[in-house]
Homo-oligomer: A and B are copies of this chain.
Amino acid sequence: MSVVTSGRYTFPNYTLVFFIFLQLGLHSVEGVWPLPQSITSSPERYPLNPQAFYFTYGSQSAAQEGCSVLDEAFKRYFSLVFPDYSSGYGFLRFSVDKPFTVQVSVGRDDCDSYPDEDSSEQYTLSVSAGQASLKAKTVWGALRGLETFSQLVYQEDFGSYYVNKTEIEDFPRFQFRGILLDTSRHYLPLQAILKTLDAMAFSKFNVFHWHIVDDPSFPYQSRTFPDLSAKGAFHPMTHIYTQSDVRRVISFARMRGIRVLPEFDSPGHTQSWGKGQSDLLTPCYSGSSPSGTFGPVNPILPSTYKFMATLFKEVSSVFPDSYIHLGGDEVNFSCWKSNPDVRAFMMKMGFGADFTKLEAYYMENIVNITVALNRTSIVWQDVFDYHERIPKDTVLHIWKGLPASYAAELSAITKAGHRVLLAAPWYINHISYGQDWRNYYTVQPLNFSGTEEQKKLVIGGEVCMWGEYVDATNLTPRLWPRASAAAERLWSNEKQTSDVDKAFPRLQDFRCKLLRRGIQAEPLFVGHCKHEYQGV
C-alpha cells in the first residue's frame, strides 16, 4: 500500500538501504560535509576527554584571547564536539591523562570586522596525537576549520569520543554561498532566523540574503520612516523587526562568518510600502480617473528618489555589508500604462511606449543612489534583460528558467562582463515527492558556453526559500538537509563530488549530525539516526 512513485531518479532498493545502515554503523572518517578540497585520514585515532580538551590560540596567531569571534566559537564548538557533556553523561567513564589541544592560528586580527566578499575562508587542519593545528588567513577561515574539526569527532557506542589522524587543506570553490529567507509573505520570528544562521554555518553557507520586505508585509522597522512597518507590517508590534532585532541578526551572523545581505525590492513588489508612505506608489487609473488601487513605485516623481535616497542611506548605515540587493524584478506595466501622468512623462523623456525604458530609468536612479553610498548593487536578472547600461560592477542574480535556460543567461550576462549569482536551480521552496536534493546536488554552475574569464564572473549561488507556503512551522525541515546538497556543490571540488549516489550515505550521516545539534532536518529516505529528533 505504500507506493514510491518512480521518477527521474532511481530509488535505492531496500537491500542497498540496509547495506548503507551497516556502513553508517561504522564510523566514516570522511564524514565532513561539504567535502573538503583535500582530506587524508588514517585509522589511527585518539580518544578525546571533554575534561582535558582545549581550544587555544597559537603563539604566532595574530588573534589572541579576547578575539570575540574565536572566543565565542571555541565555546560553541566545545558543545558541538561534546554534545552530551553538559548533561553529565559520557565523560566520567574513562580517563585520559594527556590533554588534547586544538591550536588555532590566524594570519590577521580581523576579530572585530565583518566578513565580506573578499574574505579568505581557506584553512588547513592537521590532527595528530594530543593536538590539532588549525591555520587560516582570517578568523572566517578559522571558523570553517572549527566546523570541519567538529564533524571529524565521533562518539562510539560506549559514549567515548574519538578523532582520527587527519590532514585537511580546504577552501571554498565559490565566494558567495547564500540562503534567501523571505520575511514578507510570512513573518519569521527572530528565533527562526537565528536557528537558520546556526544551521547555515554547519553547511558552511556564508551569506544570509534577507528578503525582508515585499508586497504582503513590511516588517522592517525603519528609524526614518516608522510608518512603513507601523502600517505595512502584518502587525505593528508583534510582526516587525526592530533595529535591535536587526542588530542581533547581523551580530549573530558575524559570529558565524555569515554576511547579511538586505534586499529592498523595488519598483515592483512594494504594495506594503504604500500603506505607510503616501505618494510612493503609482495610482492606477480606470479610464480617466484613479481606480483607488496602486501599482509599482511611481518613477516620475522627484519625491520618490528623495525617499529612496533617505531609506537606502539608513539601510547602508544599519547593514554593514558592501552589497545591497535592489530587486528590480517582475514589474507589471499595466498600472503605469493606465496613468496619464506617467504617459506624459514617457513622452517628455522620449521613451515612446517602451515601458522597459521607464523601468531602466528608475533602476538607474536607484543604482546610482547605492553607488553614492559606496555599495555594490545586486539586482535580479530582469534588470539585465531590459537594460543595456547598468554599471559594470552590478551583480546580476539569475532566478528564471528551467535547467536548460539558465545556462544561456549565465553565458549572456558574463559575456557582457557582469558578475552573476545563480539561484535558478535552487528554488528550494518548490517541493516535490522524493529525493529532490539530488537535483540540487547535480547542478553544474559553470556548465555554460563561455571563456575562462566569463566563468570567473560566477561569484556563487543561492538557495531561495520563498515564503508563499513557508513560515516558522515548516522552514527548518524544508530547508535542511536539502540546502546542504547545494552547499556541497558551492564549496567542494565538482570532480570529487560528481557521484550523487556516493553523496547519499554521507548526506544521511550529516543529517543525523544536524539532528544531534537540534536542527529539525527531515529524513532523506527510510532509516534512522541514533539520536532522533525529540522536539515535538
Contact = CB atoms under 8 A, between A and B. Distances in A.
A430 B5 contact: yes
Interface in A485-536: 515, 520-528, 530, 532-536
Nearest to A2: B466
B1 A423 contact: yes
Contacts of A532: 187, 189, 238-239, 471-472
B1 A399 contact: yes
A476 B536 contact: yes
Nearest to A528: B234
A523 B186 contact: yes
Interface stretch (A314-322, A340-348, A431-439): A431-439
A468 interface: yes
Contact of A473 (B15, B429, B464, B520): B520
A247 interface: no
Q: Is the interface of A mostly helix, strand, loop or mixed?
A: loop
B523 A464 contact: no
Contacts of A6: none
A437 to B, nearest CB: 11
A523 B423 contact: no
Q: How large is the interface on A (under 10, 10 to 19, 20 to 34, 35 or more residues)?
A: 35 or more
A2 B520 contact: no
Interface string A1-31: 1111100000000110110000000000000
B472 A329 contact: no
A217 interface: yes
A515 to B, nearest CB: 7
A397 B1 contact: yes
Contact of A189 (B467, B524, B534): B534
Contacts of A293: 15
A22 to B, nearest CB: 12
Contacts of A431: 431-433
Given A187-B528, A473-B533, A1 B432 contact: no
Contacts of A478: 474
24 contacts: A1-B265, A1-B380, A1-B464, A15-B293, A185-B526, A186-B523, A186-B527, A187-B528, A189-B532, A189-B536, A192-B536, A234-B528, A239-B528, A239-B532, A432-B432, A469-B522, A469-B523, A470-B523, A472-B534, A473-B476, A473-B477, A474-B474, A474-B478, A520-B536
